[in-house]
A and B are shown apart, each in its own frame.
Chain A
Amino acid sequence: MAFLELRDLQKDFGSVRVVRDFNLSVQPGEFVSFLGPSGCGKTTVLRMVAGFEEPTAGSITIGGRDVTHLRPNQRDIGMVFQAYALFPNMTVAQNVAFGLKVARVPKAEIDERVAEMLKLIKLPELADRYPYQLSGGQQQRVALARALAPRPKLLLLDEPLSALDAKVRVALREEIRQIQRDLGITTIFVTHDQEEALSMSDRIAVMHGGRADQIGSPFEIYNHPKTRFVASFVGTLNILKGSVTDPQTGTIDIDGNVIRLGRALAGKQLGEPIAIALRPEAASIANGDGREPLARGRITDVNFLGSVIRIRVELGENSISFDRFNSPNSPPPAQGEPCGVSFAVEDVLVLDD
Chain B
Amino acid sequence: MSLAWLGILPFLLFSLLFLILPTMKIVVGSFQDSTGAFTLSNIVNLFQPSILAAYWISIRISLASAFLGCLIGFLVTWAFVLGGLPGWIRSPLLTFSGVASNFAGVPLAFAFLATFGRVGLVTLILRDWFGINIYALGFNLLSFGGLTLTYLFFQVPLAILIMTPALDGMRREWREAAAILGASGVQYWRMVAFPILWPSLLGTFALLFANSFGAVATAYALTGSSLSIVPILLFAQIRGDVLQDPHLGYALAFGMIVVTGIANGIYIWLRARSERWIK
Please list the residues of chain A having a beta carbon within 8 angstroms of any beta carbon in chain B.
Answer: 50-52, 71-73, 75, 77-79, 81, 83-85, 87-90, 98-99, 101-103, 130, 132, 143, 146-147, 150
Interface residues of B in 163-191 (CB under 8 A from A): 171, 173-174, 176-184, 187, 191
| Contact, CB under 8 Å: A102 / B180 | no
| Contact, CB under 8 Å: B173 / A72 | no
Q: Is B277 an interface residue (CB 8 A)?
A: yes
The CA-CA distance from A192 to B250 in the complex, in Å, is: 68
| Contact, CB under 8 Å: B178 / A98 | yes
**Residue in contact with A102 in the complex, picked from B171, B176, B182, B279, CB distance below 8 Å:** B182
The CA-CA distance from A101 to B182 in the complex, in Å, is: 10
Known contacts A88-B196, A89-B277, A132-B279; decide if A150 and B173 are in contact (CB<8 Å): no
Least distance between B199 CB and chain A CB atoms (Å): 10
**Residue in contact with A132 in the complex, picked from B173, B176, B191, B276, CB distance below 8 Å:** B276
| Contact, CB under 8 Å: A88 / B176 | no
| Contact, CB under 8 Å: B187 / A79 | no
| Contact, CB under 8 Å: B174 / A52 | no
Chain B's closest residue to A104 (CB) is: B182
| Contact, CB under 8 Å: A79 / B276 | no
Known contacts A102-B182, A103-B182, A132-B279; decide if A72 and B196 are in contact (CB<8 Å): no
8 pairs across A/B with beta carbons < 8 Å? A72-B176, A77-B180, A79-B177, A83-B173, A85-B176, A87-B192, A147-B180, A150-B182
* Chain B residues near A130 (CB-CB < 8 A): 277
| Contact, CB under 8 Å: A102 / B187 | yes
* Chain B residues near A72 (CB-CB < 8 A): 176, 179-180
Q: Is B278 an interface residue (CB 8 A)?
A: yes
The CA-CA distance from A85 to B173 in the complex, in Å, is: 6
| Contact, CB under 8 Å: B180 / A73 | yes
* Chain B residues near A84 (CB-CB < 8 A): 173
Interface string of B268-279 (1 = CB under 8 A from A): 000000001111
Least distance between B174 CB and chain A CB atoms (Å): 6
The CA-CA distance from A72 to B192 in the complex, in Å, is: 17
The CA-CA distance from A276 to B179 in the complex, in Å, is: 49
Chain A to chain B: the 6 pairs with minimum beta-carbon distance, closest first: A85-B173, A99-B181, A88-B277, A89-B195, A72-B179, A85-B177
Known contacts A72-B176, A102-B187, A132-B277; decide if A150 and B171 are in contact (CB<8 Å): no
A-B contact count (CB 8 A): 73
Known contacts A71-B179, A81-B173, A132-B276; decide if A89 and B184 are in contact (CB<8 Å): no
| Contact, CB under 8 Å: B182 / A73 | yes
* Chain B residues near A146 (CB-CB < 8 A): 177, 181
Chain A's closest residue to B173 (CB) is: A85
| Contact, CB under 8 Å: B171 / A83 | yes
| Contact, CB under 8 Å: B279 / A73 | no
Least distance between B204 CB and chain A CB atoms (Å): 18
* Chain A residues near B179 (CB-CB < 8 A): 51-52, 71-73
The CA-CA distance from A51 to B173 in the complex, in Å, is: 13
Most chain B CB within 10 A, of A75, A81, A132, A150, is at A81
Given contacts A78-B180, A150-B182, 5 further A-B contacts (CB under 8 A): A73-B182, A73-B183, A83-B173, A85-B177, A132-B276
Chain A's closest residue to B176 (CB) is: A52
Most chain B CB within 10 A, of A50, A89, A98, A143, is at A89
* Chain A residues near B196 (CB-CB < 8 A): 87-89
Least distance between A97 CB and chain B CB atoms (Å): 10
| Contact, CB under 8 Å: A150 / B192 | no
Known contacts A85-B173, A89-B277, A132-B276; decide if A79 and B182 are in contact (CB<8 Å): no
* Chain B residues near A98 (CB-CB < 8 A): 178, 181, 183, 191
The CA-CA distance from A146 to B192 in the complex, in Å, is: 15
* Chain B residues near A52 (CB-CB < 8 A): 176, 179
* Chain A residues near B277 (CB-CB < 8 A): 88-89, 130, 132
Least distance between B216 CB and chain A CB atoms (Å): 39
* Chain A residues near B181 (CB-CB < 8 A): 73, 78, 98-99, 102, 146-147, 150
The CA-CA distance from A303 to B116 in the complex, in Å, is: 83
| Contact, CB under 8 Å: A87 / B182 | no
| Contact, CB under 8 Å: B182 / A88 | no
Chain B's closest residue to A83 (CB) is: B173
Chain A's closest residue to B180 (CB) is: A79
Least distance between A91 CB and chain B CB atoms (Å): 12
| Contact, CB under 8 Å: A88 / B180 | no
The CA-CA distance from A88 to B278 in the complex, in Å, is: 7
* Chain A residues near B173 (CB-CB < 8 A): 81, 83-85
The CA-CA distance from A78 to B171 in the complex, in Å, is: 19
Interface residues of B in 140-178 (CB under 8 A from A): 171, 173-174, 176-178
The CA-CA distance from A132 to B181 in the complex, in Å, is: 21
* Chain B residues near A103 (CB-CB < 8 A): 182
Interface residues of B in 190-247 (CB under 8 A from A): 191-192, 195-196
Known contacts A88-B277, A102-B187, A132-B276; decide if A81 and B177 are in contact (CB<8 Å): yes
| Contact, CB under 8 Å: A87 / B180 | no
Least distance between B185 CB and chain A CB atoms (Å): 9
* Chain A residues near B183 (CB-CB < 8 A): 73, 98, 102
Least distance between B136 CB and chain A CB atoms (Å): 49
Least distance between A168 CB and chain B CB atoms (Å): 18
The CA-CA distance from A73 to B178 in the complex, in Å, is: 8
The CA-CA distance from A240 to B96 in the complex, in Å, is: 63
* Chain A residues near B276 (CB-CB < 8 A): 132
* Chain B residues near A147 (CB-CB < 8 A): 180-181
* Chain A residues near B180 (CB-CB < 8 A): 50-51, 72-73, 75, 77-79, 147
**Residue in contact with A81 in the complex, picked from B176, B191, B195, B279, CB distance below 8 Å:** B176
